[in-house]
Chains A and B, each alone.
Chain A
Amino acid sequence: MGSLYAIYRKEMGHYFVSPIAYIFIGLFLILTAFFFNVILSEVIKQSFQMEMQGMRFGAPSDFDVPAAVMRNFFGILSTLVLFFTPILTMSVYAEERKRGTMELLMTSPVSELEIVLGKYLASLSLFALMLLPTASYMIFMCLRSDPRPPWSMLAAGYAGVLLLGGSLLALGSFVSSLTENQLIAAVITFAASLFIWVLDIGRSTDSGGGAVLQYLSVIRHYEDFTRGVIDTSNLIYYASFIVLFVFLTVRSVDSMRWRRA
């Protein structure tokens, strides 16, 4: 436990002593703020049109602005996650191997699981810190809406982003443990993430295989969260995804001993 914490601390120190954390958090903030602005004005415009149409036909509009903004905003967040996570994880093991510090970790009384979990939790923490400021936009919007949408909706959305991001970080860490080259790690992680993303194109096919592919897609399980629904099956999907890739990373780190160094 002590070693896991030591590795976690070291990783966090690495993020915050170097410009990495600031660049990530800053850029993510700029992009999300921009998208929030665009989405909010678009949705409000749309709601006015609905209102006008409603008045013309005499039926009251029941357009839910906060829900629409949230759905769109969390949709955009998921796309940003796809681009940010490969860069976040590319150096996790690749750099350590290149510098020769893997030799220090692997000759210390630290288990592979402690190394992998320490690093994974650190990348997840940085990811959560990236997301944190964006909650202020949502909270601001919710406070100004009448009637106020339930907080559980917001919580579900963020739970979804964390799980989605957590899954892609686990995948990225695994890829990083396979290569010494950071660029290769980033490209492969991005391609693999994109692939399990678009598996959900199988949506249109009604065959049994299509349904399986649909189930495997990471983004498919995300949509319920953006609507404020926390479904156990989605939780299980993401949890299994993360556990699988953490396990594979442990095996991969262990196998470094057996490969020619």
Chain B
Amino acid sequence: MIEVQDLTKSYGSVTAVDHVSFTVNKGEILGFLGPNGAGKTTTMRILTGYMPATSGTARVAGFDVFRESMEVRRRIGYLPENPPLYPDMTVETYLDFVARIKNVPAERRPARIDDALRKTNLEDRRSELIKRLSRGYKQRVGIAQALVHDPDVIILDEPTVGLDPKQIIEVRNLIKGLAGNHTIILSTHILPEVSMTCDRVVIINKGKIAAVDTPQNLTSQLKGGQKIHIETEAPEKLLRDVLSQIPGASRVVIEPARAGSRQTVTVEAAQGNDIRSQVAAKIVEHGWPLYELHGVSLSLEDIFLELTTDDAAHAQSSS
């Protein structure tokens, strides 16, 4: 549905997007993950036809975003970083305006507006002025605006910014519900969002793609080693010696007790060694109470930090 080839955008001497290539299949949700200023917004703006690329090509539904911009724009719903709202309009007149400029035929307009209002849970606010709505509702009107013409492709730039936790869950469910019929690209710097909603993730940093994969693959691929989290009560020095002697254990970090005499211990082990049973056995052997023991898998957050800081360190050493 979306094919991006060697896309580059420079502003003078600054390269915001640097030879980015990726594809998105029909019905897929692609997450764009990266720190602020990584080039997420710029890439999205090129895809929507808001600005031209310096070089490279991007095609949406087979149409070139620059040369066949009108065809692309007809097929895209776009929520920019700041929802593009007219404060003096009511929710309904605003959606009607958007439907008109998106070429929705008159006879289909009322149904499309109702559908967008229903999907974004705005039915009871339809005749309210946009300027009187709270931040969360404004964001929803922004999303409704991107849906109103039933586009093939929906591009959402930070759709959950400014929402409260309950609304965030609603929006994520809404996005998941839209997949299948629509192809969706969303950008975020919130990591759990990606693992919860997206089929695939593009991690972008400093205009370059650092990784493209499913959230699951990224997590397992970069797992590297195993981490075990233990809560127990034992003399610190002895505990450290005992745990370090377990074959395969590479690092033991003991955090002193916060309340009472329980300690939190993290044991790291090399990949492929499951040392959980051995740890448990050792602790029980010494007669220490074992309150908790569980393996910690590397979260997307760790992967993200690893990828982006690695890259930064690399860039620094090379310059």
- Indicate whether A and B interact: yes
If A109-B74, A258-B51 touch, whether A100 touches B100 (CB-CB below 8 Å) is no
Give the secondary structure class of B's interface. loop
With a cutoff of 8 Å between Cβ atoms, the chain A residues found around residue B74 in the complex are 109
A101 touches B85 (CB 8 A): yes
A108 touches B86 (CB 8 A): no
Interface size of A by CB at 8 A reads 28
Tell whether A45 is near chain B: CB-to-CB under 8 Å: no
Given A99-B86, A107-B76, A108-B102; 17 other pairs, CB 8 A cutoff: A2-B100, A3-B103, A5-B100, A6-B97, A6-B101, A9-B100, A10-B86, A10-B89, A14-B86, A99-B82, A102-B84, A103-B80, A107-B50, A107-B78, A258-B51, A260-B11, A261-B45
With a cutoff of 8 Å between Cβ atoms, the chain B residues found around residue A111 in the complex are 70
Q: How far is the CB of A139 from chain B (nearest CB, A)?
A: 34
Which chain A residue has the least Cβ–Cβ distance from B51?
A257
If A101-B84, A257-B52 touch, whether A107 touches B103 (CB-CB below 8 Å) is no
C-alpha gap A244/B76 in the complex (Å):
33
Tell whether B159 is near chain A: CB-to-CB under 8 Å: no
- A-contacting residues, B90-109, CB 8 Å: 93, 97-98, 100-103
Which chain A residue has the least Cβ–Cβ distance from B99?
A6
Q: How far is the CB of A101 from chain B (nearest CB, A)?
A: 4
Q: How far is the CB of A130 from chain B (nearest CB, A)?
A: 20
If A260-B11, A261-B45 touch, whether A104 touches B80 (CB-CB below 8 Å) is yes
With a cutoff of 8 Å between Cβ atoms, the chain A residues found around residue B82 in the complex are 99-100
With a cutoff of 8 Å between Cβ atoms, the chain A residues found around residue B88 in the complex are 13-14, 17-18
From A18, A101, A109, B70 is in contact (CB under 8 Å) with A109
Tell whether A106 is near chain B: CB-to-CB under 8 Å: yes
Which chain B residue has the least Cβ–Cβ distance from A102?
B84
Interface residue ranges, A against B (CB under 8 Å): 2-3, 5-7, 9-10, 13-14, 17-18, 99-111, 257-258, 260-261
Number of contacts between A and B (CB, 8 Å)?
78
A3 touches B98 (CB 8 A): no
With a cutoff of 8 Å between Cβ atoms, the chain A residues found around residue B78 in the complex are 103-104, 107
If A17-B89, A100-B82, A101-B86 touch, whether A7 touches B101 (CB-CB below 8 Å) is yes
Tell whether B188 is near chain A: CB-to-CB under 8 Å: no
B50 touches A257 (CB 8 A): yes
Most chain B Cβ neighbours within 10 Å, of A100, A102, A104, A260: A104
B101 touches A109 (CB 8 A): yes
Most chain A Cβ neighbours within 10 Å, of B83, B87, B88, B145: B88
Most chain B Cβ neighbours within 10 Å, of A9, A101, A109: A109
C-alpha gap A99/B11 in the complex (Å):
22
3 cross-chain pairs, A with B, having the tightest CB-CB distances, nearest first: A6-B100, A104-B84, A107-B48
Which chain B residue has the least Cβ–Cβ distance from A5?
B100
> What are 12 residue pairs bridging A and B, where the CB atoms are less than 8 Å apart in the complex?
A6-B100, A10-B86, A10-B97, A18-B88, A99-B85, A101-B84, A101-B86, A104-B145, A107-B76, A109-B70, A257-B50, A258-B51
Tell whether B31 is near chain A: CB-to-CB under 8 Å: no
What 0/1 readout, one digit per residue, does chain B (48-72) give for beta carbons within 8 Å of chain A?
1111100000000000000000100
Interface size grouping (class) on chain B: 20 to 34
Q: How far is the CB of B148 from chain A (nearest CB, A)?
A: 11
Which chain A residue has the least Cβ–Cβ distance from B69?
A109
Q: How far is the CB of A113 from chain B (nearest CB, A)?
A: 13
Which chain B residue has the least Cβ–Cβ distance from A105?
B101
What 0/1 readout, one digit per residue, does chain B (104-148) give for beta carbons within 8 Å of chain A?
000000000000000000000000000000000000000001000
C-alpha gap A18/B89 in the complex (Å):
10
Q: How far is the CB of A256 from chain B (nearest CB, A)?
A: 9
Q: How far is the CB of B307 from chain A (nearest CB, A)?
A: 28
Tell whether B206 is near chain A: CB-to-CB under 8 Å: no
Q: How far is the CB of A238 from chain B (nearest CB, A)?
A: 30
With a cutoff of 8 Å between Cβ atoms, the chain A residues found around residue B70 in the complex are 109, 111
Tell whether B200 is near chain A: CB-to-CB under 8 Å: no
Most chain A Cβ neighbours within 10 Å, of B84, B85, B102: B84
With a cutoff of 8 Å between Cβ atoms, the chain B residues found around residue A18 in the complex are 88
If A106-B49, A109-B70 touch, whether A3 touches B101 (CB-CB below 8 Å) is yes
B50 touches A2 (CB 8 A): no
Most chain A Cβ neighbours within 10 Å, of B78, B80, B86: B86
With a cutoff of 8 Å between Cβ atoms, the chain A residues found around residue B208 in the complex are none
A100 touches B49 (CB 8 A): no
If A99-B85, A101-B84, A258-B51 touch, whether A109 touches B103 (CB-CB below 8 Å) is yes
Tell whether B182 is near chain A: CB-to-CB under 8 Å: no
Tell whether B227 is near chain A: CB-to-CB under 8 Å: no
Q: How far is the CB of A99 from chain B (nearest CB, A)?
A: 7
